Amino acid sequence: MRWTPKGRSADLEDRRGTRGGGAAKLGIGGVLILGLLSFIFKTDFFSLVGGDGSAPPGQESAPVPTSQEEENQIQFVSTVLDDSQQNWERIFAESGQPYRKAKLVLFTDAVRSGCGFAETAMGPFYCPADEKVYIDLGFYNELQERFGAPGDFAQAYVIAHEIGHHVQNLLGLDDQVRRAQGENPGQANELSVQMELQADCFAGIWAHSMDPNLRGADEPALEPGDADEALNAAAAVGDDRVQSQVGAEVNPETWTHGSAEMRAEWFNTGLQTGNVDNCNTFGSPRG
């Protein structure tokens, strides 16, 4: 992927110095209890002991020593974040709708979000409650070493997918799906899969916008092999691949993200068409 470093994004929050916010102050027992309550009641119980979801009172973020390699990665993340959101701003404007930017939070080990407490093991995620994407940069090592998905565009796909969830939130799809899941618990996993596949398709739409024929020389653009890196990343985190990797039985009824084939197919749909209308995973037999 061709890109030009332009510094850190104004929409990036570096919370790597908080080490999970109020987790250390609570102790492991308190963290587990509040984490369980947050999960069951879909409420951020950590906010009761620490403020607004960033650093609790008296425990502000400390500056984090950053190597040049890490800073380059942060600037890459910033570039993808800004470019993907600029593309969605354009798409929303064409349909006469305003686009509200998401924030991206960098953290280490654990973090408290508007959706509750989360650890690195959960992987990158989007929280609709605070409209923020959360990622531990260490996940990129796991993407390459555990999932076998190397390359800078594989990393870019991860961010574009989470911004896809933000787009779903702005369009009201997130609320619709959550209501439907509550009304039809038996369909909860299937609806989750459809949400994830649509976010993959939305990530593909951003990749489509990076066609070199549509870009200026100083803007990010696809290079040979980039699309394959993203397709490989989408497939690598398919539920069937993950279940096989951990030695579990491949069981489609338990899937929440979709198979490797489905994820790659929907990303490719967005990549080839660049059209939001073609990302209706809820009305497609492929979903």
The structure tokens listed for 260 are: 């490797």
Q: Are 59 and 22 a contacting pair, CB within 8 Å?
A: yes
Q: For every one of its 287 residues, what pLDDT tens digit does the chain have, with 9 covering 90 and above? A: 878 888 899 999 999 877 544 444 444 445 455 555 555 555 555 454 444 444 443 334 455 777 888 899 999 999 999 999 999 999 999 999 999 999 999 999 999 999 998 888 888 999 999 999 999 988 888 888 877 777 788 889 999 999 999 999 999 999 999 999 999 998 898 999 999 999 999 999 999 998 766 666 556 677 778 778 878 777 777 777 777 767 777 777 788 888 888 999 999 999 999 999 999 998 765 55
pLDDT number for residue 75: 94
Residue 279 sits at φ, ψ, to 5 deg, of -105, 25
pLDDT number for residue 171: 95
H-helix segments, 98-238: 139-145, 152-170, 173-183, 188-209, 226-236
pLDDT number for residue 172: 95
| CB environment 150-181: b (16+ within 10 A), e (fewer) | ebbbbbbbbbbbbbbbbbbbbeebbeebeeeb
Q: Are 93 and 171 a contacting pair, CB within 8 Å?
A: no
The structure tokens listed for 171 are: 């369009």
Rounded to a whole number of angstroms, the distance between the first and last alpha carbons of the chain is: 29
- Torsion, CA 237, CA 83, CA 165, CA 124, rounded to 10: 50
